[in-house]
């Protein structure tokens, strides 16, 4: 609640001071302001009330996002004017320079983000491996595709029906192979951090009935890509032949043939 103030002209104030008894301290129960000071108080109270009203309007669900943005900009402008009111000319110039520098830094960040997105969009993901499960052990053969950034598992459920799973390589935690005669099962453990950052236990995906050599090669490729990422090697800049040779060498295991 606002406190009450009383204003008076200078002459009136002097006359009232003469009439005050000596036994009572002057201005003991009354505060006086000049007209200019009173106007400043009224202006500040008006601004504060306007800001409170705008904040209340923001809570109105009937306002559109554009209206809310306009209110926010207006409130920011009034707050800025209030803050700069008592600044000297040099201080105001410093504030302007700071705002220009902040705008320049923000523009630079936006440009860097734009260039990074453009580079990702223009980057060609090189397919390293494509393998299918063995028929008739798998009536509707599944397909495993591994490229430089992700692995894709396409599961055929029936004619013209399929389920596609895409796993970014950066989310893969491990890859293992279980062999039996000429067939093998590839198990991929991954943690989709983008959808659930608090996930602790990885998800396991099994691709069964792969050819033995395809499963082992897929495991070596996945392991090799993980090693390359851990060493900050951008394999997307290599040729397909270099990628295959280097990646499989990185992920190779002794005792598996």
Helices (H) and strands (E) in the chain, counts: 6, 9
Percentage of the residues of the chain whose pLDDT score is greater than 70: 57
Q: What are phi and psi of 128, to 5 degrees?
A: -100, -40
Least confident of 19-23, 179-183, 230-234: 19-23
pLDDT tens for each residue of 16-42: 555 545 444 444 444 555 677 766 766
Task: Report which of residues 104 and 195 the model is more confident about.
Answer: 104
pLDDT tens for each residue of 38-59: 667 666 766 666 666 566 555 5
Q: How far is CA 127 from the centre of its chain?
A: 30
Residue 219 near residue 243 (C-beta atoms within 8 A) = no
pLDDT attached to residue 1 = 44
Q: What are the DSSP E strand ranges found in the chain?
A: 6-7, 32-33, 127-132, 143-147, 150-158, 161-168, 172-180, 183-190, 203-211
pLDDT attached to residue 23 = 46
Asked if the model's pLDDT at residue 178 lies above 90, the reply is yes
Least confident of 33-47, 68-82, 146-160, 194-208: 68-82
Asked if the model's pLDDT at residue 106 lies above 80, the reply is yes
As a whole number, the mean pLDDT across the chain is: 73
Task: Report which of residues 11 and 246 the model is more confident about.
Answer: 246
CA–CA dist 176, 130 (Å, integer): 18
Residue 93 near residue 101 (C-beta atoms within 8 A) = no
pLDDT attached to residue 84 = 58
- Work out the pLDDT band at 73, boundaries 50, 70, 90: low
* Per-residue DSSP letter, 171: G
Mean pLDDT in residue range 77-99: 65
């Amino acid at each position: 609640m606002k406190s009450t103030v009383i204003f008076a002209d200078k002459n009136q104030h002097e006359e009232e001071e003469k009439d005050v008894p000596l036994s009572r301290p002057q201005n003991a129960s009354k505060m006086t302001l000049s007209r200019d000071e009173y106007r400043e108080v009224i202006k500040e109270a008006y601004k504060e009330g306007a800001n409170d009203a705008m904040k209340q309007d923001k809570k109105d669900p009937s306002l559109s996002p554009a209206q809310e943005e306009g209110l926010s900009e207006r409130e920011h402008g009034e707050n800025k004017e209030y803050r700069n009111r008592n600044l000297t000319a040099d201080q105001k110039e410093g504030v302007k320079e700071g705002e220009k520098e902040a705008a320049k830094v923000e523009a630079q960040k936006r440009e860097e983000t734009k260039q990074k997105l453009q580079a990702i969009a223009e980057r060609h993901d090189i397919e390293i491996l494509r393998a299918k499960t063995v028929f008739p052990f798998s009536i509707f053969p599944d397909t495993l595709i591994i490229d430089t950034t992700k692995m894709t598992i396409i599961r055929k459920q029936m004619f013209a029906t399929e389920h596609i799973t895409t796993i970014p390589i950066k989310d893969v935690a491990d890859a293992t192979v279980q062999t039996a005669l000429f067939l093998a099962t590839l198990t991929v453990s991954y943690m989709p951090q983008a959808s659930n950052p608090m996930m602790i236990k990885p998800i396991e995906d099994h691709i069964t009935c792969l050819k033995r050599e395809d499963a082992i090669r897929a495991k070596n490729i996945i392991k090799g890509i993980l090693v390359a990422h851990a060493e900050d090697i951008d394999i997307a800049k290599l040729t397909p032949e270099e990628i295959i040779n280097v990646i499989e060498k990185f992920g190779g295991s002794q005792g598996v043939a």
